[in-house]
Structure 1
Amino acid sequence: MSIELIPARFAHRISGYPADGYASGEDWLAELPTLLGDLLREWELEPIGPTMTGACSVALPVRLLGAGRDAAGVSGEGVLKISWPHPEAATESLALQTWNGHGAVRLLRADPSRFAMLLERLHARDLMGVDVDEACGVIGDLLGVLRRPPHPRVPRLVDYAERQARELHDAPPVLPRRYLDQASALARELVARPPAEDRLLHTDLHYENVLGAYRSPWLAIDPKPMAGDPAFEVAPALWNRADELGSGSQVRWSLRRRLEIICERAGVDEGRARAWTIVREADNAVDAAESAQSAGDDASREWAHDRISLAVTIIKAMND
């Protein structure tokens, strides 16, 4: 296996990841060439393009050569995705299996023990270049299609909320104290007043996690699955493409416009979506501050400052 299948920038970034329940980034990276070679051989795959990377995974375009070729459609092509082992990636294949290609990329084969999946091949285009109102409509429609009963083995949103209620209450004042206290109280309230039914949640459906497809205009990729309240799903479409929010009073209008479109198309309660967004943005701000403190460099501190400022902006807009 040639090391060129692992882009150098990806290798440099992930080598610094500490272990999160599994192998560290450095240890996993040392095994990745062998893992790639084993999967290509065992699953009878031929690389046909350069490796793509995400924050924690590599995705290699492949041609299926064996008996499973028909599952990939007319092209006989797919994508071999291997993720650095961490809790958020542990149940991705279960969610894709549950959706079975309805609104999401189709799972052709999986080996959860090796955090490996063979996926149908999609187009490279995403929603980043689509008018934001139209893109929010696409996201809202997909959230409606993806609304399925949850797989019993995915994490529960209620556990996240209970944890955040405690952690945000005790967090240092990286945000104005009133916002941290509000987020903590909302997390408790949302657990105390649950929706009528839990659903399988993507939890990270933003503009780059929606790709064009051969069999459908748009499909979701890269879920971080949970089971719980569909109103939790809206927030990523608010904090992404933040440079397009405008300035001054236009920012609030833009954020509420996105929220309104998604909630209407997905059939989600706007009040609960605003409340979950406040919780998630407070969590994002605390995470940003902790990451910058751990990194200890000027670039990380500058990024954290900007991310916390965005969190304050979004929380204000959800409150007004």
Structure 2
Amino acid sequence: MGVGAVFQPWLQRWQLSADGDGLATPGSDLLPVRLPNGTAAMLKIARDHDERAGAALMQWWNGVGAARVFELEGDALLMERAQGRRSLMAMALQGQDDAASRIACDVVAHLHVRREAPWPRDMVPLQHWFEALRTAAARDGGMFASALAVADDLLATAEPARPLHGDIHHDNVLDFGERGWLAIDAKYIVGDRGYDYANLLCNPELRTVTEPARFSRQVDVIAAASGLSPERLLRWTLAYAGLSAAWFLEDGDTASADSDLTVASLAGAALGWQSQPA
């Protein structure tokens, strides 16, 4: 089993042993490892600022609602590794959609609990992320403009800001066995908690996400589990779906953008829009 050179200094520094093959993502390199005492862990080497900032937030959560961080230095993050066999994605597709949503909401609630420790440095206000939607609205109008109008109103009437995960979906909440369900791969934003719950209704990797009946049911489930009013959840969903579609178009992924725009339309319809507002 070969181990990439990027991991070698950290394997030696923290006395780790490789426990599988490495994996490269757009923003990081990952390697399953074991600590000297045999504990399963994941070594993650960030390749961009977003990944480094997200790692600092994971450390700040201190294992409450998120994977525990064992070490964090420079570009390298060493965190506990999920060993359970359950999957929220599988649950959502195999008749346990409501349960999967409630589990994810419970994890989000733990992440949002107020903590005495100061926030990590370099956290970005949520409104800055919506600049991508502002650009898309100016260029394309339509649903992007509608989503932006809703986003601006939500940001102007936001709940007190708190650190947000920023990318809650069915594959970022994993089964950690005795430790329960925990989040991984945080972003680095602060803002209204509604943003994190809207993510659950927009995941284009979940093939049922654009089904109207499924959407309506999950709005009720997530609103009840989160304590958000259905209307505010729908508005955050519309705003986030527009933003996500704008990001996907920037990446050339029109299929995922279309999925998000369909979700935005479902949210608009549920809010009582008879047709797309000008």
| TM-score bracket for the superposition, by shorter chain length | 0.7 to 0.9
Q: Deviations over 1:262-315 (max 9, x none)?
A: 2321223332322222222222222333322xxxxxxxxxx51x2232122101
Q: Secondary structure at the match of 1:205?
A: coil
In structure 2, the residue matched to 1:156 is: 125
Structure (1/2) with the larger helix percentage: 1
Equivalent position to 1:39, from 4, 10, 13: 10
The residue type paired with residue 46 of structure 1 is S
Matched, 1:100 2:49: no
User: Do structure 1's residue 167 and structure 2's residue 135 form an aligned pair?
Assistant: yes
Contact persistence 1:184–1:279 (CA under 8 A)? yes
Distance in 2 between residues matched to 1:290 and 1:79, nearest whole Å: 30
Kindly tell me: are residues 191 and 41 of structure 1, through their superposed partners in 2, closer, same or farther at Cα, counting changes over 3 Å? same
How far has the Cα of 1:140 moved from its partner? 0.9
1:165 CA displacement: 6.0
SS at match of 1:79: strand
> Is 2:249 the counterpart of 1:289?
yes
Q: Percent identity?
A: 27
**Normalised TM-score (structure 2):** 0.84
Alignment partner, residue 273 of structure 2: none
Amino acid at match of 1:216: R
Q: Deviations over 1:19-62 (max 9, x none)?
A: xxxxxxxxxxxxxx2x3111111111111222244443232122
One-letter code aligned to 1:135: A
Letter in 2 for 1:102: V
Inter-partner Cα distance in structure 2 for 1:264 and 1:107: 31
Report what 1:312 is aligned to. Answer: 261
The residue that corresponds to 2:276 in the other structure is none
Q: Match of 1:128?
A: 89
Is 1:189 the counterpart of 2:189? The answer is no
Query: Which residue number corresponds to residue 88 of structure 1?
Result: 50
Q: Which moved more, 1:260-269 or 1:237-246?
A: 237-246
Q: Which position in structure 2 is the counterpart of 1:261?
A: 221
Q: Secondary structure at the match of 1:244?
A: coil
* Distance of 1:270 and 1:5 partners within structure 2: 48
Distance 1:290 1:110, change over 3 A: same
The answer for unaligned runs of 5 or more in structure 2 is: 270-278
Once residues 93 and 287 of structure 1 are traced to their aligned partners in structure 2, the CA distance between those partners, rounded to angstroms, is 22
Residue 61 of structure 1 is matched in structure 2 by 32
4+ residue segments displaced more than 3 Å: 52-55
- For residues 82-114 of structure 1, give each alpha carbon's deviation from its aligned partner in whole angstroms, at most 9, with x where no partner exists: 1221x3213122211221111110000001x32
Aligned residues: 259
* Compared CA separation, residues 152 and 271, structure 1 to 2 (3 A): farther
Which consecutive residues of structure 1, in runs of 5 or more, have no partner in the other structure?
A: 7-32, 70-74, 293-302
User: Are the counterparts in 1 of residues 133 and 144 from structure 2 also a CA contact under 8 Å?
Assistant: no
Q: Using the alignment, how far apart are the partners of 2:144 and 2:209 within structure 1?
A: 24
Distance 1:259 1:268 in 2: 10
Residue 219 (structure 1) shift: 1.0
Scaled by the length of structure 1, what TM-score is found? 0.74
What is the CA-CA distance between 1:118 and the residue it aligns to? 0.6
Q: 1:221 Cα deviation (Å)?
A: 0.9
Relative contact order (alpha carbons < 8 A, sep ≥ 6): 1 or 2 greater? 2
| Separation of aligned partners in 2, 1:51 and 1:152 | 28
Q: For 2:259, give the aligned amino acid.
A: L
Secondary structure, aligned partner of 2:176: coil
- RMSD between superposed Cα atoms in Å: 2.2
- Following superposition, the deviation at residue 144 of structure 1 comes to 1.0
Amino acid at match of 1:255: F
Paired AA for residue 272 in structure 1? R
Larger Rg: 1 or 2? 1
In the aligned structure 1, how far is the partner of 2:124 from the partner of 2:152?
A: 18
How far did 1:164 drift?
4.5
Matched to 2:22, the amino acid is T
Structure 1 residue 216: deviation in Å? 2.1
Q: Structure 1 residue aligned with 2:163, among 188, 193, 200?
A: 200
Secondary structure at 1:208 match in 2: coil
